[in-house]
Structure 1
């Protein structure tokens, strides 16, 4: 048997298990280590009871990042602006909990369990869901499941541009067109049809589309610079790393460090955060995610244009007739 086929056989045998191991690590490890890590939470009140409550929360070293508020109204505003995930108010009847299941149903349940465990035996803890998840998707399952299809769509767009040989302006136009159409179709499905997103329709479509554009432009840009291997590299980065590190099914602050932070600087995580902000929080706290997606999209499209010009110059050079020095007798 020739040497080259033997090498390809060994490469396949070793590469597939390596990819599977990477996928299991990326998806299973963060899920197995889920716990609050500097989770922003508010405490309402200024007396000894509020101080005592804060002290009990801080006993879980590094679990919560405590913000103090003088009034329940101030805490509600902070929740609506996505400064905190929830708040505990100290009242004459005991603690009362303010949550935002739209920000993360997992965190809302975690806070409920934590506050209930500290309440006097048998005491009921009243819960007010300040920004509730829609009744059509109370667990946030649809939003959590939407990021993987967006990542796949972006990778498919970048791969298609590469495999079809589109370069320069044509490649950019194709990526922009795909992103725009995917954004509108996604908003039509999740908002108009299923009713699981409740924000401004065009803002949701823009969040969907920009996420796909950032991913697709990155994949196509890598391929334009380093060849078809860039498609594989971009796929690994966006699907096997960006998707499980996004924290969209729980919260970035529940993932192991620095996974949650890394995830928010990758398009899937930034896209999930942007979509949640525009769908449920009137665009509050959308700035960083929006900037992250724009940066990835601009860098990717720039790489596409640079790679296209480089290939065009190589093609022109190859087509140019060779010039030979004149022969003298």
Structure 2
């Protein structure tokens, strides 16, 4: 018996050790690589001014750092910024360079764009004037509250899944766990939005829409983790938690804006619940819900994945119960 058990134990131990090593390596890559290669990566900006000047500036500036679009008037450029079509822009005249920014959309991009505007103004022998069209709130000018909200949102998805799984275990408790996760998301999401808007005054905008966005983000996290746990056990929960925390958190781009991350990393981050939740919160809180479509769709998709996994687990759980019932009847 021991001769048969030891090889199986060795294989299992080897898989666990290799899996943990891969997890730690992935964690290092997720945290370190985006930071090492951070900076403007094809950040969309607009340029307006005399046709020849604007086109020359576009040709000179467009590249790895900036993706430049031309606009006919400063008003059109400002509207594009407020609609989140571009992150900011430059309006060039004979007398000065107007730099239009949206700090609430990405403070790092704002700083880089301001430096770009100063450089253009220096070359033309004029001066640059910065206009922040979408700033953070006066009570939180650096957006500290917005950045700090990410971890409570992530843990607000992880902790309920873990606690509900222990309180209502097994197949019989599956539906209760899903219902509990959704109810918790409503209560906690509304509370987080209330603290950000009325407590720390870190966000503006319609409270109801902000709260709905936070609720959807937390529901996406908790239902996905519950579905993985129901289908794959604690291994599924650990996999989901690692994905959300170790990849989703550093790749969310909430502190800097997603365009500050390398293109591939930024794309992955926005397809995970933390990144989509941050983008949805930012859009609802500062941009009158402009640009909410994609993050809302991503989060709804994760909720659907979590519920689908739970339904599959529910169907699997019913089969043994039906088999046992037939055996007792016979």
Q: TM-score, normalised by structure 1?
A: 0.90
> Could you tell me which of 146, 169, 173 is aligned with 2:179?
173
Instruction: Give ranges in structure 1 of 5+ residues lacking alignment.
Output: 325-329
Structure 1, residues 68-118: CA drift from partner, whole Å, max 9, x if none?
111111111101100001010011213110001111111111101122123
Compute the displacement of 1:55 (Å).
2.3
Q: 1:268 aligns with which of 269, 274, 278?
A: 274
Q: Mapping of 1:151-300 within 5 angstroms?
A: 151-163=154-166, 164-165=168-169, 167-300=173-306
What's the offset of the Cα at 1:269? 0.8
Q: Distance in 2 between matches of 1:76 and 1:43?
A: 10
Q: 1:285 to 1:320 in 2, by over 3 A?
A: same
- In 1, are the aligned partners of 2:81 and 2:88 still within 8 Å (CA)? yes
Match among 59, 65, 68 for residue 66 of structure 1: 68
Structure 1 partner of 2:319: 313
Higher mean Cα deviation, 253-262 or 178-187? 253-262
Return the offset for 1:161.
Answer: 3.1
Asked if structure 2 preserves the Cα contact closer than 8 Å seen for 1:211 and 1:267, the reply is yes
Q: Distance in 2 between matches of 1:196 and 1:266?
A: 24
Question: What does the per-residue CA deviation read over 1:263-322, in whole Å, with 9 as the maximum and x for residues that have no partner?
Answer: 111111111111000000110110111111111112211221331232133234235435
CA contact (8 A) 2:174 2:230 kept: no
How far apart, CA to CA, are the structure 1 residues paired with 2:45 and 2:207?
30
Change (3 A) 1:323 1:180: closer
8 Å contact from structure 1 (residues 220, 300) kept in 2: yes
SS of residue matched to 1:128: strand
CA contact (8 A) 2:178 2:226 kept: no
**Could you tell me how far apart the structure 2 residues matched to 1:19 and 1:100 are?**
36
Whose helix proportion is higher, 1 or 2?
2
1:148 Cα deviation (Å)? 2.2
- 1:18 is displaced (CA, Å) by 4.8
- Structure 2 residue aligned with 1:126, among 118, 124, 129? 129
Residue 138 of structure 2 is matched in structure 1 by 135
- 1:101 corresponds to which residue? 103
- 1:327 counterpart residue number: none
Is the 8 Å Cα contact of residues 168 and 305 (structure 1) preserved in structure 2? no
- The reply to whether residue 23 of structure 1 matches residue 27 of structure 2 is yes
Q: How does 1:74-89 map to 2 (within 5 A)?
A: 74-89=76-91
Question: Which deviates further from its counterpart, 207-216 or 168-177?
Answer: 168-177
Q: Distance in 2 between matches of 1:157 and 1:103?
A: 30
* Distance in 2 separating the partners of 1:310 and 1:172: 16
d(CA) in 2 for partners of 1:227, 1:6: 21
Contact 1:242 1:267 in 2 (8 A): yes
Once the 2 structures are TM-superposed, how far is the Cα of residue 225 of structure 1 from its aligned partner? 1.7
Report the Cα distance in structure 1 between the residues aligned to 2:144 and 2:199, rounded to whole angstroms.
Answer: 16
Report the 3-state secondary structure (helix = DSSP H, G, I; strand = E; otherwise coil) of the residue aligned with 1:202. helix
**How far apart are the structure 2 equivalents of 1:46 and 1:239?**
48
Aligned residues: 322
Q: Find the aligned partners of 1:239 and 1:125 in 2 and give their Cα distance.
A: 41
Higher mean C-alpha deviation, range 110-119 or range 198-207: 110-119
SS at structure 1 position matched to 2:114: helix
CA distance in 1, matches of 2:257, 2:106: 6
Measured after TM superposition, the shift of residue 172 of structure 1 is 2.2
